[in-house]
Amino acid sequence: PDIIYRIVDCLVNVFSCHGYAITTIEGIGSKKKGYHPVQARLAQFNGTQCGYCSPGMVMNMYSLLEGKQVTMKDVENSFGGNICRCTGYRPILDAFKSLAVDSSEDLRKKVPDIEEMHKVKICERNGKICTGNCSVDDGHNGESHNKNLLAQANAPVHIKLAKDVDWYKVTTLQDIFEIFDKINDAPYRLVAGNTGQGVYRIEEDIRYFIDIGSVGELKTTKMEPNLVVGAGMSLTETMEMFYTLSAENSKFAYTKVLADHIDLIANVPVRNIGTIAGNLCMKNNHNEFPSDMFLMLETVGATINIAEEGNKIVKMSLLSFLDLDLKHKVIHSINLPELDSSYHVRTFKIMPRAQNAHAYVNAGFLFKLKINENGKVLTKPTIVFGGINPEFVHASNTESYINGKNLFDRKVLKTAMKILDAELQLDHVLPDASPAYRKSLAEALFYK
Amino acid sequence: QPLGILVAETNRLALKAVSKVKVEYSGVTKPHTDMQDIINFKDRSRVKVYISANSARADTSDVTHVVKGSFCSGMQYHFTLETQQCICIPVEDGFDVFPSTQYPALTEIAISQFIKIVSHTCMSRIININVRRLGGGFGVKLIRSAQVASACAIAAHHVNGPVRFLMSLETNMEAIGMRCGARIDYEKLQIDEAVEIDIYEDAGISWNEKYATGTLSGFKNCYESSDWKINVLGVRTDIPTTTWCRGPGSTEGIAGIEHIMEHIAKTVNKDPTQVRLLNMNKNMSSIPQLITDLKINADYNIRKESIDNFNKNNRWVKKGISLVPMAFEVVPFDRYYAMVSIYGPDGSVAIVHGGIECGQGINTKVAQTAAHVLGCSLELVSVKSTNNLITPNNQMTGASITSEASCYSVNECCKELLKRMAPVKKSMKNPSWSELVQKSVEDSINLNTSHMYPYGDVQTKNYYSYGIAITEIELDVLTGRNQICRVDILEDAGKSENPEIDIGQVEGGFIMGLGLWRQEQIIYDPYTGRNLTNRTWNYTPPVSKDIPIDFRIELRKDSPNPFGFTRAKSSTTYQISGWDWESSGTECGPLRRAQRAGGVYMESNTGPNGPNTSFLHIRKRTLNKENKVAFMGNQRDFRVENRENEQRA
């Protein structure tokens, strides 16, 4: 089935779009054709001032509405990737909330006569005024969709971009290693979401681009009996999978905590295409990157599977992965353990604004506890922090100290805090926040 | 610092070429990126007195308390979504220029001066400026757009072909100046000197743009200030020259005096609102009334009580509420043009005016004015690009007066056209608008006219816009994270021309202010002087979930302004009223109170109050029995000091 999602054009390489059907702001409605209700609502609610952010706002809402029942809460949570400097957001959110299934009486009252005012377009199929809520399966948006194009999406492609730049799109793991064989030491880049350049710009001259976004094996999730998650899954796919799984399988109930944390990574369009592997790759390349994905996986004791030449899959801990030379290797999948209800998982991300910023400090805690025995810690807990210094992962001394002790004993807690304070050695690289704040924050999160 | 211009066939190629440029500097010394150092070390060669106002009260015999302190505010990047840019096309008689500017006349002068350097001769008449609209202005396209447009024109002159000049976000943030940082010292408030205030402004590398008058007016706010001695001083640092940014000076000034009011209230142990009322300027009688009204509308007293209870019952989450008044002085300028043409076939109307549409809704208001005065349908009216043929020497679009002034000129044009059509109308029997226009054309009536709004030709003079804001905040004292629960703003908007547009200005200004006071921080490398916060990865303006959960704006009803021509208060003044409200958002306000309730103490402020300055040091507070609480003071100094220690090591 077709998957429709919003992406940001400046992050996606145009060659990655092979097989995409692309709808832009011009495609959904215009002055000539008549406006789409999302566009009309934004104008009606005075949600546009200088107008520069409006196309992005509209497309974000348009794709949110595709085939889904959108609530006001969904609207409120989905615009972290769209900056508006003029309006202060309130009228934009109001406009889009008025299209939600549970829109409030107040908002709906503001809507009448909108069709007349903004010349909303007429549906090509039923001749009535577009309501903006029919799914693509109904063929309403047929003009922008070419099924043949989509069918070609999974064929391998080779494009010569320049005399010494090649673009490959591959569909199997084998293809990737065949290219590795050919290119020797030439600089290459595996391309999936390509969103990492929002964090670290690509400075090297890349000789070979290998688009691995269509390698099915990297997007497969299995139970055997641990959970094996394909590393090529997008963060959005992973999040949705975790929400479903946590509700169905009590051994994986903890994945809800992870899904909630993923909601704090970047923003919707980035999560739509950015992958688990891409995020971990950045952590591998830049150990100082406060990767939320790395943090949450290490918290719950996940391991990583690396595909190497000769059909080999090597399983390793995330800590050893940090030092791994990824040259001519592919992050294949992630193994997540079963954890029963005596395990308590908590993660935190504290950032300078509500959404879409990297953490001052992020933290993950895994404790097997007997709650009613003064919080007896049954096995060595996991205490992981990001944003301390590039090498720091575990508060190992604190973990060892607490093992077997009663966590809710004030004396134990006091000693643990002292040990934690001693082992948190913070670096200070501008423009990051002060070590004093980050240290206190890490300790506060442990206390929380 | 821009060193040169690279022209290429494509933008991508130009950017690649830029990355190949190597610059070697010699004789490098540690730059002054922080004006605090200059002030603290009293380097007078870098300090200039802009204004010295009033003299301090001589008789201080009744002084019972002395309040000393310092208040700082940080820089802010305008973050127009459209960066600085320009297109310049050499044509038969000179250059067609499409700059993104709030000030076409200045752009024209600058280009003309630059072209003169390279080709010995150039006159303003050959520079054809066209501006359709801007993707955000906020003051950064008043002066700096001229620099960018001139660079573009020089390139077009050299290649003798069209050149498009686009600034990347990084270059824009590094090379173009921002809102200036400010520091307000009131430590001189001593018994023998009475009230004396020093306000320092970071000028950047040159003294080009001075906030001083706005700062002075903002600092006086709505208070009786005749015996306060106020010095406004510029400090020359080595960062790019700072420039106008939404509410320049008034933002800093109001936040500063409101901080002091809170400080006084704390010292004399009185209700802060009472302290403000006691200091109120008698000529601003609107303010006490607005305070009373908003307190009732916003259930202030009930909420304050429930917040006190909340704080008693919660150890780690605290709330705070504050009330802050504002008076913003509107100072009219002159030279705002408009031209109106009416067309025979259908009675449609076209307008060119000298203001620039940058999101403030000027075109809507201008069109509304024309439709209202002419008595025709709004749909018949359209507004064209601003150009310097019809609006020569037009004043800038700034200081929140352009909408009002442009509307005035349109109003005059329309009245003149109606006057010309009056005899025709008299000869007809209840003609429709289009019949009247058609007949006027047949009778060869001149249906085109222009007008320039001059200073003093109308009943306009300086006046004040007033407003009150009540803000409630909730703080997690362990992490410093906080959420604005509710904001109520009551704004004296005069008789608003377009309430939706005006509310939009108040809201937008308020949220930009939240960014300034809470989360936007510019950090320079103290050794290289490079701006380390030059893109969205490290500079974080507010996003949609940062706004107040409950956000209520009300314009005061039936309050015509006797000084403006439309009885409105300057149509974009609301922006400024909006952007000063943020001072209630943090500095003197609810965040501080929540912090105090939670035992977080800050002695001085040096930048935005994000989570990183609003937290409680957990280990010391909870686990040691000391009553002392953590002091999270001067972050910026700490950083520099830290680096210096590292270097020494």
Domain boundary among B453, B482, B512: B453
Q: Chain A 417-436, CB below 8 Å of chain B: which residues?
A: 417-418, 421, 428, 430-431, 433-436
pLDDT above 70: percentage of residues in chain A? 92
Give contacts of A444 with chain B, Cβ < 8 Å: 478-479, 615-616, 618
What pLDDT score was predicted for residue B352?
98
Number of structural domains, chain A? 4
Q: Are residues A69 and A179 in the same domain?
A: no
The interface pTM score, or ipTM, of the predicted complex is 0.92
Nearest CA in chain A to B361: A49
Q: Are residues B66 and B96 in the same domain?
A: no
Domain boundary among B255, B271, B293: B255
Write out the DSSP string of A246-314: HHH-GGGTTHHHHHHHHTTSS-HHHHHH-BHHHHHHHHHH-TTS--HHHHHHHHTT-EEEEEETTTEEE
**Subunit contact B543:A430, Cβ cutoff 8 A:** no
**Subunit contact A85:B81, Cβ cutoff 8 A:** yes
**Subunit contact B510:A428, Cβ cutoff 8 A:** no
CATH number of the domain residue B170 falls in: 3.30.365.10
What pLDDT score was predicted for residue B188?
56
Give contacts of A90 with chain B, Cβ < 8 Å: 507, 547, 551
Which of B543, B613, B625 is the best residue to mutate to test the A interface, defined by the most A CB atoms within 10 Å of its own CB?
B543
Strand duo A165-169 + A157-162: pairing: antiparallel
Q: Confidence band (pLDDT; 50, 70, 90) for A10?
A: confident
A409 contacts chain B (CB < 8 A): no
Domain boundary among A309, A336, A363: A336
What pLDDT score was predicted for residue B649?
31
Nearest CA in chain A to B642: A428
Q: Are residues A27 and A117 in the same domain?
A: yes
Give contacts of A85 with chain B, Cβ < 8 Å: 78-81, 136, 138, 508, 512, 541
Give contacts of B481 with chain A, Cβ < 8 Å: 350
**Subunit contact B512:A88, Cβ cutoff 8 A:** yes
Q: How many CB pairs under 8 A join A and B?
A: 176
- Asked if residue B244 is part of any domain, the answer here is yes
Q: Are residues B516 and B572 in the same domain?
A: yes
What pLDDT score was predicted for residue A112?
65
pLDDT, one tens digit per residue, over A139-180 is 444 444 555 555 566 788 999 998 999 999 999 999 999 999
- Asked if residue B14 is part of any domain, the answer here is no
CA distance linking residue B228 with residue B318, whole number of Å: 36
How many CA atoms does the CB half-sphere of A237 hold within 13 Å?
18
Q: Are residues A34 and A181 in the same domain?
A: no
Give the H/E segment covering residue B236.
strand B229-236
Q: E strands along B443-574, which residues?
A: 448-453, 463-476, 482-492, 550-555
Give contacts of A348 with chain B, Cβ < 8 Å: 479
Q: Are residues B215 and B246 in the same domain?
A: yes
Nearest-CA distance from A281 to chain B in Å? Answer: 18
Q: Name the token pair of A211.
A: 């688009």
Nearest-CA distance from B135 to chain A in Å? Answer: 5
CATH number of the domain residue A28 falls in: 1.10.150.120
- Asked if residue B637 is part of any domain, the answer here is no
Which of B134, B547, B611 has the CB atom closest to A88's CB atom?
A: B547
Q: Are residues B382 and B301 in the same domain?
A: no
Q: Are residues B203 and B110 in the same domain?
A: no
Q: Are residues B432 and B559 in the same domain?
A: no
Domain boundary among A336, A353, A378: A336
Nearest-CA distance from A273 to chain B in Å? Answer: 18
Phi (first) and psi of residue B490, to 5 degrees:
-115, 125
Instruction: Kindly list the averaged pLDDT for each block of 10 residues, start to end, along chain B of length 649.
Output: 92 89 91 92 90 80 81 91 97 96 97 91 92 95 96 96 94 94 76 74 94 92 89 95 92 87 85 92 92 95 93 86 87 91 97 96 95 96 97 91 89 96 96 97 97 72 85 86 89 80 88 87 92 94 94 80 52 34 40 59 54 63 36 30 35
Give the closest residue to B40 by CA, choosing from B249, B239, B194, B235.
Answer: B235
What pLDDT score was predicted for residue A337?
96
**Subunit contact B537:A430, Cβ cutoff 8 A:** no
Q: Chain B 455-484, CB below 8 Å of chain A: which residues?
A: 478-481, 483
Q: Are residues A162 and A30 in the same domain?
A: no
B78 contacts chain A (CB < 8 A): yes
Q: Are residues B40 and B181 in the same domain?
A: yes
pLDDT above 90: percentage of residues in chain A? 74
B511 contacts chain A (CB < 8 A): yes
Give the H/E segment covering residue A115.
helix A114-118
Nearest CA in chain A to B637: A434
* Residue A229 CB neighbours (<10 A): 24
Q: Are residues B188 and B71 in the same domain?
A: yes
Give contacts of A434 with chain B, Cβ < 8 Å: 612, 635, 638-639
What pLDDT score was predicted for residue B19?
87
Q: Are residues B366 and B415 in the same domain?
A: yes
Residue A203 vs residues A206, A288, B6, B174: alpha-carbon distances, Å: 9, 18, 20, 19
Q: What is the mean pLDDT of residues A212-234?
A: 94
Q: Is the dihedral of CA A141, A143, A147, A152 positive or negative?
A: negative
Give the H/E segment covering residue B383.
strand B381-383
Number of structural domains, chain B? 4
Nearest-CA distance from B104 to chain A in Å? Answer: 18
Give contacts of A52 with chain B, Cβ < 8 Å: 80-82, 135-136
Give the H/E segment covering residue B197.
strand B196-204
Q: Chain A 140-179, CB below 8 Å of chain B: which residues?
A: none
Q: Are residues B448 and B472 in the same domain?
A: no
A13 contacts chain B (CB < 8 A): no
Give the closest residue to B574 by CA, choosing from B595, B547, B556.
Answer: B556
CATH number of the domain residue A285 falls in: 3.30.465.10
Nearest CA in chain A to B316: A448
Q: Are residues A348 and A388 in the same domain?
A: yes
Which of B485, B514, B544 is the best residue to mutate to test the A interface, defined by the most A CB atoms within 10 Å of its own CB?
B544
Q: Are residues A123 and A20 in the same domain?
A: yes
**Subunit contact B618:A447, Cβ cutoff 8 A:** yes
- Asked if residue B586 is part of any domain, the answer here is yes
What pLDDT score was predicted for residue A109?
85
A414 contacts chain B (CB < 8 A): yes
Which of B135, B612, B619 has the CB atom closest to A434's CB atom?
A: B612
CA distance linking residue B319 with residue B321, whole number of Å: 7
Q: Are residues A226 and A196 in the same domain?
A: no
Single-letter amino acid code for the residue at B531: N
What pLDDT score was predicted for residue B648?
36
Give contacts of A415 with chain B, Cβ < 8 Å: none
Q: Are residues B509 and B538 in the same domain?
A: yes
**Subunit contact B615:A92, Cβ cutoff 8 A:** no
What pLDDT score was predicted for residue B322?
85
Q: Are residues A246 and A299 in the same domain?
A: yes
What pLDDT score was predicted for residue A1?
52
**Subunit contact B611:A352, Cβ cutoff 8 A:** yes
B245 contacts chain A (CB < 8 A): no
B523 contacts chain A (CB < 8 A): yes
**Subunit contact B523:A431, Cβ cutoff 8 A:** yes
Q: Are residues A176 and A204 in the same domain?
A: yes
Q: Chain A 64-93, CB below 8 Å of chain B: which residues?
A: 76-77, 79-93
Domain boundary among A336, A364, A391: A336
pLDDT, one tens digit per residue, over A21-61 is 889 999 999 988 899 999 999 999 999 999 999 999 999 99
A31 contacts chain B (CB < 8 A): no
Give contacts of B483 with chain A, Cβ < 8 Å: 354
B619 contacts chain A (CB < 8 A): yes
Q: Are residues A175 and A102 in the same domain?
A: no
- Residue A135 pLDDT > 60, yes or no? no
* DSSP tally for chain B: helices H, then strands E: 19, 18
Nearest CA in chain B to A74: B545
- Asked if residue B5 is part of any domain, the answer here is no
A116 contacts chain B (CB < 8 A): no
User: What pTM value is reported for the model?
Assistant: 0.91
Domain that holds residue A53: 1-153
What pLDDT score was predicted for residue B422?
97
Q: Chain B 542-561, CB below 8 Å of chain A: which residues?
A: 542-547, 551
* End-to-end CA gap in chain B: 31
**Subunit contact B359:A53, Cβ cutoff 8 A:** no
Q: Are residues A129 and A170 in the same domain?
A: no
Q: Are residues B161 and B204 in the same domain?
A: no
Domain that holds residue B520: 284-331+462-596
Nearest-CA distance from A226 to chain B in Å? Answer: 35
CA distance linking residue B352 with residue B370, whole number of Å: 12
What pLDDT score was predicted for residue B580?
35
Residue B8 vs residues A10, B17, B83: alpha-carbon distances, Å: 21, 8, 19
Domain boundary among B423, B453, B483: B453
Q: Are residues A283 and A368 in the same domain?
A: no
Single-letter amino acid code for the residue at A291: S
